[in-house]
């Protein structure tokens, strides 16, 4: 006796946007705030979870940004950007930079970085990039940055999956880190 599983679309049938969003939401990710400056020197930023390391040599990262967002123009026309990897206690910043607002930087402590780009104080990693390339990614642009400067701090990363922030008690983080096979991916046989 066989059980009926979920319907599988034909190979050439594209999933609808809602199904795509739900499937991608199953992938847990860190949370970043991408920062830059506008053409007239004003700070700009938005929350991004579609961020990844791309290459070690040369050092490249990528950020995917919706073409309809105002931040798209700032990122693709500017000289560079900053990636601020948020800590677990910076959830409010993730929400603030995900929403609409005139001055997301009001009351926020930042440090000027490369090209005058604001870096968020207290982020567990700050990655300063020069704009390297902008690639087509459908309704998003894939913005590739050449990493020029890095800073890291102790702390646990803010995680996001299935439309929610994930909270892990410190004891669970410590246990997971103690049991982790560090650098396993660097030694993978592929």
Give CA separation, 125 vs 12, 75, 87, 119, 156, in Å.
41, 19, 9, 10, 11
Buried-state track 166-181, b at ≥16 Cβ within 10 A, e below 16: eeeeeeeeeeeeeeee
Listed in order, strand segments (DSSP E) in the chain are: 29-30, 32-37, 43-48, 51-56, 59-66, 80-85, 110-112, 118-120, 125-137, 140-152, 159-161, 164-166
CATH superfamily of the domain spanning 29-172 = Electron Transport, Fmn-binding Protein; Chain A (2.30.110.10)
Distance CA 189, CA 181 (A): 15
pLDDT in tens, 13-22: 788 888 877 8
pLDDT in tens, 60-97: 999 999 999 889 999 999 999 999 999 999 999 999 99
> Where are the chain's structural domains?
29-172
pLDDT in tens, 92-148: 999 999 988 778 999 999 999 999 999 999 999 999 999 999 999 999 999 999 999
């Amino acid at each position: 006796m066989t059980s009926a599983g979920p319907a599988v679309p034909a190979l050439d049938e594209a999933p609808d946007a809602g199904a795509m969003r739900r499937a991608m939401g199953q992938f847990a990710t860190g949370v970043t705030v991408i920062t830059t400056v506008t053409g007239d020197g004003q700070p700009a930023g938005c929350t991004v979870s579609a961020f990844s390391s791309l290459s070690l040599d040369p050092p490249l990262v990528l950020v995917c940004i919706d073409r309809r967002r105002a931040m798209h123009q700032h990122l693709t026309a500017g000289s560079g950007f900053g990636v601020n990897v948020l800590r677990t206690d910076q959830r409010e910043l993730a929400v603030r930079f995900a929403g609409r607002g005139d001055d997301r930087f009001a009351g926020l402590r930042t440090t000027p970085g490369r090209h005058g780009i604001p870096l968020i104080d207290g982020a567990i990693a700050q990655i300063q990039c020069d704009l390297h390339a902008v690639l087509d990614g459908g309704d998003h642009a894939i913005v590739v940055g050449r990493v020029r400067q890095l800073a890291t701090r102790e702390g646990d990363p803010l995680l996001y999956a299935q439309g929610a922030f994930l909270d892990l008690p410190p004891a669970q983080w410590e246990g997971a880190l103690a049991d982790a096979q560090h650098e396993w991916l660097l030694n993978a046989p592929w």
